[in-house]
A and B are shown apart, each in its own frame.
Chain A
Amino acid sequence: MRSFSSLLAIALIFTLAVAQAEEVTVAVAANFTAPMQEIATAFAEDTEHQARTAFASSGRFYAQIHNGAPFEVFLSADETTPARLAEDGMTVPDTRFTYAQGSLVLWSADPERIPAGEGAAVLHAGDFRKLAIANPRTAPYGAAAIAVMQALGVEDSLRPKFVQGENLPQTYQFISTGNAELGFVALSQVIKDGEISAGSGWLVPEELHAPIRQDAVLLTRGADNPAARALLDYLQGERAQAIIRAYGYHLPN
């Protein structure tokens, strides 16, 4: 009997310890993978909480969240998916905000392919076989790439050279393996220590496409989880914002 009660006491202590260090399950847009991994580590250091992260496209998360996936916080690649979830009553009201604004880059694994500042000229010349973009129907960065080519007047001439990745990591893979000579990806994928780390690239001027605002929102499943709210606060804190900037994202105002 005594051993049973001591066992119970141990179980109780264990439960309390777990209750203090809460865990939050986060659905994260694939383009934000690298910064989120750093932020999750920092979050665990600075708070008592742990963030469990899953990475996929925003559209897939939309379907999963609708069908009972256990996500408590959603970091989308766009504004529209969180807005749709809000309309569907899947989010906690007034918790939506823009956590990062994406930058688009025309990138090639070949260091000679895109001379500094001459991305637009490279597109006009069209001297390549394949140009990789993320699927514009599903990926905001793909839609932005199309907008850029429309603004430059090269969309029609380049369209036969398009190959589409289903998301940004796959688009990056097409280019990095050399199967597509160049393509549009997120700056966050090719930046290291503030510079494009391999190959050659052209940071697309912001005025050529609508801003890529990436919104975060608290999902109804996370309404009562203190770690979920803590993570959303943490994303707006100094340390997280420094990480976000280091990956080439802008912050709203």
Chain B
Amino acid sequence: MGLGFSDADLQAIWLTARLAGLTTVLLLIIGTPIAWWLARTRSRLKAVVGAVVALPLVLPATVMGFYLLLVMGPQGPVGQLTQSLGIGLLPFTFWGLLLASVFYSMPFVVQPIQNAIEALGERPLEVAATLRAGPWDRFFTVVVPLARPGFFTAAILGFAHTVGEFGVVLMIGGNIPGATRVVSVQIYDYVEAMDYAQAHWLAGSMVVFSFVVLLALYTLNPQVRRF
């Protein structure tokens, strides 16, 4: 017991941190090439890919959760794939939540990176190319340092948004301690069970956490506008 948190609360907090951390790492790896492509392509597919990435911004969690449950279920394409690979089914597992979170938090990571790369323009890359920097070299020695505020914003928002995820987790998680019972679900349970004292501890902590994260973001990175 620490502060007013029960052991179950601490377990939920640790689980949430793990989920959000892994989601952020995966999204930086997956999201960066997507953002790079979106920022620089002249392809007609740009609008389509951009729209798909942004879908979670407008879709209610009920829609996403419902389809994820069907797609990852025994009759769904992802479910059939994971079963044939011998992994079993993803709903009600940590890995299922991770997959859902990567999709759900994608726009919060891709869009800030895309904006930062777009803001760089062609010039620094052209200069680097004339200095005979190869594509990878240009990316890691020019783009990453110059677009660092964008990556910073992306990581913070990806993490914070995953911590704040609720509806999708509720629909595909199954509320299993240590695997899918994240903080937001734990709070929901307390409120539903009319245990308001316990709910306040966790809910209040979430408010403080979210405020501190955003405060840090705006203090360290005042140019942030869009996400």
Binding site for B on A (CB under 8 A): 57, 59-60, 62-63, 81, 84, 129-130, 132, 135, 137-138, 162-166, 170, 173-174, 177-180
Contacts and interface: CB of A to CB of B under 8 A. Distances in A.
A250 B193 CA distance: 26
Contacts of A84: 194
- 7 shortest A-B CB distances, which residue pairs? A163-B174, A59-B192, A164-B175, A138-B192, A178-B74, A179-B91, A137-B193
B214 interface: no
Contact of A179 (B73, B176, B188, B193): B73
Given A130-B174, A138-B189, A164-B174, A63 B75 contact: no
B17 interface: no
Contacts of A180: 92, 174
Interface string B64-94: 0000011011110000000000001101100
A179 B92 contact: yes
Given A178-B74, A180-B174, 18 more contacts: A57-B192, A59-B194, A84-B194, A129-B89, A137-B189, A137-B192, A138-B192, A162-B176, A163-B175, A164-B174, A164-B176, A165-B174, A166-B170, A166-B188, A170-B171, A178-B75, A179-B89, A180-B92
Interface in B161-183: 170-171, 174-176
Contact of B73 (A62, A163, A178): A178
B191 interface: yes
Contact size class for B?
20 to 34
A13 to B, nearest CB: 42
Contacts of A81: 194
Contacts of A166: 170, 175, 188-189, 192
Nearest to B92: A163
A170 B172 CA distance: 10
Interface in B203-223: none
Contacts of B89: 129, 179
A151 B29 CA distance: 50
B69 A179 contact: yes
A174 B193 contact: no
Contacts of B92: 130, 163, 179-180
B58 to A, nearest CB: 23
B69 A173 contact: yes
A25 B89 CA distance: 42
13 contacts: A59-B191, A59-B194, A60-B191, A129-B88, A130-B174, A135-B189, A138-B192, A163-B176, A165-B175, A174-B91, A174-B174, A178-B73, A179-B69
A24 B45 CA distance: 53
B69 A62 contact: no
A59 B193 contact: yes
Contacts of A137: 189, 192-193
A135 B194 contact: no
A170 B189 CA distance: 14
Among B70, B88, B170, B174, which residue has the most Cβ atoms of chain A within 10 A?
B174
A162 to B, nearest CB: 7
Given A163-B92, A163-B175, A178-B75, A135 B69 contact: no
Contact of A135 (B72, B74, B88, B192): B192
Contacts of A165: 174-175
Given A166-B170, A173-B69, A179-B89, A62 B175 contact: no
B9 to A, nearest CB: 14
Nearest to A136: B193
B74 A179 contact: yes
B175 A63 contact: no
A138 B170 CA distance: 15
Contacts of B175: 135, 163-166
Contacts of B72: 179
Contact of B191 (A63, A132, A162, A170): A63
Contacts of B74: 178-179
B197 to A, nearest CB: 14
A69 to B, nearest CB: 14
Contacts of B73: 177-179
Contacts of B69: 173-174, 177, 179
A161 to B, nearest CB: 10
Nearest to B171: A170
Among B74, B92, B170, B188, which residue has the most Cβ atoms of chain A within 10 A?
B92
Nearest to A57: B192
